[in-house]
Chains A and B, each alone.
Chain A
Amino acid sequence: MTVAIIDYGSGNLRSAAKAFESLTNEPIVVTNDAAVVARADRVVLPGVGAFADCRAGVVGLDGMMEALTDAVITRGRPFLGICVGMQLMATRGLEHGQQDGFNWIPGEVVAIDSADPHLKIPHMGWNNLNVTQPHRVLAGLDSKEDDAVDPHCYFVHGYHLAPDESSHVLASVDYGGTITAAVGRDNMIGTQFHPEKSQAAGLRLISNFLAWKP
């Protein structure tokens, strides 16, 4: 089993790769090679920075969008999008002008909007997940479960994904209103938080993802 972590020149992929490596003996490949992604058994799209930059980074890699679509949509490989990698699953993003996303999860990525002028933006730090739909990859992160880990996860973002269909929302957090924390359908899941930075809860999620057979 090969896990491909897509490297499109953004941010810190080492910590994501290290978190995956700590949980499996299978090869974890950090790659910008579309052919590697096309052959991978699982695909992870991390992302930090702005929506448009991340999108340009992915689209700018030769054949990457086609490989990603083939692996995730055509062949149904398990996919995990992290932070902006999750936001790219949306129809479009509204950060610094309108940009198209992958349109896998219909909806828009919009600024965190609150009536509270004291609410700090970005939403940065640890917030507790409310799992709204049980999901294999979120097993153990729902405080209602008996064997749940501490449900706090690490967030840093100023925009969030507002899906058109509530059935695509798997978890949320409260921050001046309800913020989407995880989305998913079929073989794909996305987390607004950083599992690779979320200690026990994050490692549990990554472990679940590595075992997931959608």
Chain B
Amino acid sequence: MLKARVIPCLDVKDGRVVKGVNFVDLRDAGDPVEQARLYDKAGADELCFLDITASHENRDTIYDVVACTAEQCFMPLTVGGGVRVTEDIRKLLLAGADKVSINTAAIHRPEFVSEASQRFGAQCIVVAIDAKQTAPGKWEIFTHGGRNETGLDAVDWAKRMEGNGAGEILLTSMDRDGTKSGFDIELTRAIADNLRIPVIASGGVGTLDHMVAGIRDGHATAVLAASIFHFGEFSIAETKAHMVAAGVPVRL
């Protein structure tokens, strides 16, 4: 049977791994290639690099990081951040990425997702959605680390992206990200239950029970976390053992 995936996410800035709390107050947690190698050995199911490099001059650092990682890690690698045109996708895939995640560019031009899906295949197009609760049972899409509202309803937007050929949704709760208070389960379930494509739950993991809840209660098929892994609070093995004990099938 298909197993729930555990995906460590590394925020990469200027070629170095950083992870923030609510997207500010960044802390340095090392070399991305070294981290990728350790996660590969530890049995992570996939790896996600989110490139948060702001300056144009340093944008090419991500291609080197991806290329070095792909030489050492034989596991699926998703890269997001700053993907704006199909040429960005082509360069990431050629460097060794397996999937790319598109966020802001999809909001500016939704047909970019259709074009990318047609050219490279739905299997490598992940649409990243950053959502914030605006009313009970209602979430909206935000960009720029949660600062800019778009007025787009999260569930409607996710369905539209599925229709445009997204192969997967990476769903982050901006209310929960960095808080360690757990995924927004209601949001995750609202998206997952309305789509046929897989949903990765993200934002807010602080305990291993949160990972279980993302799959069991949120109906996500994968759970993504950053700080609990990078700062050594939990290992991949501990996470998976905990999930199995709670009845969530994972690859051990």
Contacts and interface: CB of A to CB of B under 8 A. Distances in A.
B93 interface: yes
Given A14-B94, A124-B168, A126-B45, A175 B197 contact: no
B1 A128 contact: yes
A121 interface: yes
Contact of B196 (A10, A12, A121, A150): A121
B151 to A, nearest CB: 29
A120 B3 contact: no
B67 A14 contact: yes
Contacts of B175: none
Interface of A: 10-12, 14-15, 18-19, 22, 48-50, 53, 120-128, 150, 152, 154-158, 173-175, 194, 196-199, 202-203
B167 A156 contact: yes
Interface of B: 1-5, 40, 43, 45, 67, 70-71, 74-77, 93-98, 120-124, 167-168, 196-198, 221-222, 251-252
6 contacts: A12-B96, A48-B120, A120-B197, A120-B221, A125-B221, A175-B1
A152 B198 contact: no
A154 B120 contact: no
B2 A199 contact: no
A126 B95 contact: no
B123 A156 contact: yes
B75 A197 contact: yes
A152 B98 contact: no
B39 to A, nearest CB: 11
B252 to A, nearest CB: 7
Contacts of B1: 127-128, 173-175
